[in-house]
Structure 1
Amino acid sequence: MAKRNNDNQSIEDILKQFVEKNNLQSGLDKVDVREAWTNLMGNGVNNYTTAIELKHNTLYVQLSSSVLREELSYGTDKIIKMLNESLRKEVVKKLVLR
C-alpha cells in the first residue's frame, strides 16, 4: 500500500508538477494561443480565420481574406506582443499569415 505524503501542497503546485512530469506544456500553449487569438482579434478577424497552429514558437494563422492578411501583416510585431502579454509569457516569437 502506498504511503500517504503529509506535506500540504496547493493544487496549483500539484498541477504544475503534473504538467512538467508529463510534458504537457506545449499542448497547453497551443490551446492558450488559439484562445488568446480569438479573444484579442474579435469577430471581424475571427470570421476570416480558418486555421491557427503553433509550431516551435511560430504561430501560423490561415486567413480566407487576402486583403485582411495584407492589413494584418503590417502589425505582426504588435500582434505578437499582444498575444504574449495575454499569455503572460513569451510563447510566440514569429507570426506567419497564410
Structure 2
Amino acid sequence: MAKRLSNESSISAVLKEFIQQHKLESGMDKIDVEQAWKTLMGNGVNSYTQEVVLKGQTLYVKLSSAVLREELSYGKHKIISMLNEELQKEVVKELILR
C-alpha cells in the first residue's frame, strides 16, 4: 500500500515520492543528463553536439566534429565528475564520444 504523506508536505517531497513509487528515476535521469550536458558544455560544444543518450550508466554523445571529439576525449573523467556534481548523484560512470 502506498505511503500517505501529510497535508503539509512540500511539492518537491510529493513529486520525489511519486517518482520513486512509479520507478521513473531512470527516465528522469536521462532528461537531467541531457540538460546538464547543455548547461555545462556551453554554446560552442552544443553547436557540434548531435545527440546525448544515457543508457544505463554510460553516456553516449554524438559529435559532428572529429577535432572536438578528440579534444573532449582528453577530459572524459573531468566531464563525468562535472556532470555527476551537477546532478548531485552518480548517474554517469562512463562517457563514450562518437
Give the TM-score taking structure 1 as reference length: 0.90
* Over 6 Å off, 4+ runs: none
SS in 1 for 2:81: helix
In structure 2, C-alpha distance between the alignment counterparts of 1:40 and 1:92, rounded to whole Å: 14
Percent identity (aligned): 62
Deviation at 1:11, TM superposition (A): 2.0
Q: Kindly tell me: are residues 10 and 72 of structure 1, through their superposed partners in 2, closer, same or farther at Cα, counting changes over 3 Å?
A: same
In structure 1, C-alpha distance between the alignment counterparts of 2:5 and 2:40, rounded to whole Å: 43
Q: Residue in 1 aligned with 2:76?
A: 76
- Say whether 1:67 aligns with 2:67: yes
Q: Residue in 2 aligned with 1:16?
A: 16
Q: Give matches, 1:24-35, under 5 Å.
A: 24-35=24-35
- Say whether 1:46 aligns with 2:46: yes
In structure 2, C-alpha distance between the alignment counterparts of 1:14 and 1:63, rounded to whole Å: 38
Deviation at 1:21, TM superposition (A): 1.1
Give RMSD over aligned pairs. Answer: 1.4
Deviation at 1:69, TM superposition (A): 0.3
Residue ranges of structure 1 left out of the alignment (5+ in a row): none
Q: Residue in 2 aligned with 1:88?
A: 88
Aligned residues: 94
SS in 2 for 1:96: strand
Q: Residue in 1 aligned with 2:58?
A: 58
Q: Which has the larger radius of gyration?
A: 1
